Amino acid sequence: MSDIDEALKLRFGADAPETPDVLTASDFPAKLARRRSHRKFKPDLLDPELLRSLCALSLCAPAKSDLQQRDIVIIEDPVQRAHLMDIIPGNAWMNEAPAFLVFCANNRRQRQIHDWRGRPFANDHLDAFFNTSVDAGIALATFMMAAESIGLGCCPVSAIRNEAVKVSVLLGLSPHVFPVAGLGLGWPAEEGEISPRLPLAATVHTDRFSDDGLREQIAAYDARRAKAQPIARQKHVEDFGEAEFYGWSEDKARQYSKADRADFGAFIRAKGFNLS
């Protein structure tokens, strides 16, 4: 069994695909199959030029209509880093990551170009927000693939959206610019774990979407994931009690049983976006 076959079997169980030979011609697919998040790092600082080069590689990613609506803020100043960590506390590993970046969606630049060229901005609706958000997400994913291809470890941080107003003020983000996710990275101090994923039958469709059999597929996934990677701590025990079996679906149901970032829409509107 090839490295990629072994990794995909860990990810998807019996639903893992048969890997064609063309995917074994390069080591990148196997690295992607084995990728994992890292939250423990060696203390070695990262070369600033390496970070800038990785940023450049991430910005080589596709952008909607070549609009290039994504920016990256590298947090270098220790004081600025400390302020940011104070805003999003609760994850000690973020303080220890040798480097931290914030990926931002930027629709401001497009609007500035319209002003400079004397052209109307006729797309002031939900799609403007959506396009720039997706662009930022693609850049983030591309950065991670580039970093992990040379052995760096990464973990994205959505918690910056918990305090989007404070993060935006700290980073000096202008109207129509907002934080999408942070990213901690460095040289891994340990190997990390491969997280099993939902079966392809639940997430890959041919010609038409279907969720037939989804409940059974998730139940089987819960059992497979609990065996390979049990969840260490149950959420909201004070409300829901201790479950005898605590699988992925129970964890996610408990997570989203509590309101989170309910003010994010108001923040985005305050940034100047029309979400109609």
Q: DSSP letters along 149-212, please?
A: HTT-EEEEEGGGGGGHHHHHHHHTPPTTEEEEEEEEEESBSS---PPP---HHHH--SSS---T
Nearest-angstrom CA–CA distance, 81 and 112: 29
* CATH, residue 148: 3.40.109.10
Read off the amino acid at residue 15: D
Helix axes 214-228, 248-255, angle to 10 degrees: 100
Sequence-distant (≥ 6) Cβ neighbours of residue 50 within 8 angstroms: none
Sequence-distant (≥ 6) Cβ neighbours of residue 67 within 8 angstroms: 110, 131, 132, 135
My answer on whether 147 and 41 are in the same domain is yes
pTM of the predicted protein model:
0.95
My answer on whether 96 and 229 are in the same domain is no
pLDDT digits (tens, 9 = 90+) for 73-104: 999 999 999 999 999 998 889 999 999 999 99
- The residues facing 185 across adjacent strands are 99, 154
The CA-atom distances, in angstroms, between 102 and each of 151, 171, 266 are: 21, 9, 21
My answer on whether 70 and 155 are in the same domain is yes
- Residue 223 located in a structural domain: yes
- Residue 83 located in a structural domain: yes
Within 10 A of 26 (CB to CB), how many other CB atoms are there? 10
- Residue 21 located in a structural domain: no
My answer on whether 58 and 141 are in the same domain is yes
- Residue 260 located in a structural domain: no
The radius of gyration computed from the CA coordinates of the chain, to the nearest angstrom, equals 21
Sequence-distant (≥ 6) Cβ neighbours of residue 111 within 8 angstroms: 121, 176
Domain holding 40, by residue range, is: 35-188
My answer on whether 184 and 68 are in the same domain is yes
Number of domains in the chain: 2
- Residue 65 located in a structural domain: yes
Pairing of strands 153-157, 99-106: unpaired
134 is written with which tokens?
Answer: 């997706």
| pLDDT score at 143 | 98
Do the beta carbons of residue 107 and residue 69 sit within 8 Å?
yes
| pLDDT score at 203 | 97
| Residue keyed to tokens 């989203």 | 256
| pLDDT score at 207 | 98
Q: Can you say whether residue 118 is alpha, beta or left, with left for phi > 0 and alpha for psi between -120 and 50 degrees?
A: left
CA 57 centroid distance within chain = 17
Ranges in the chain, pLDDT < 50: none
Residue (of 15, 9, 4, 5) closest to 202 by Cα position = 15
- Residue 17 located in a structural domain: no
Phi, psi of 252 (to 5 degrees): -70, -35
Do the beta carbons of residue 231 and residue 256 sit within 8 Å?
no
My answer on whether 57 and 136 are in the same domain is yes
Q: What angle do CA 271, 272, 276 make, to 5 degrees?
A: 120
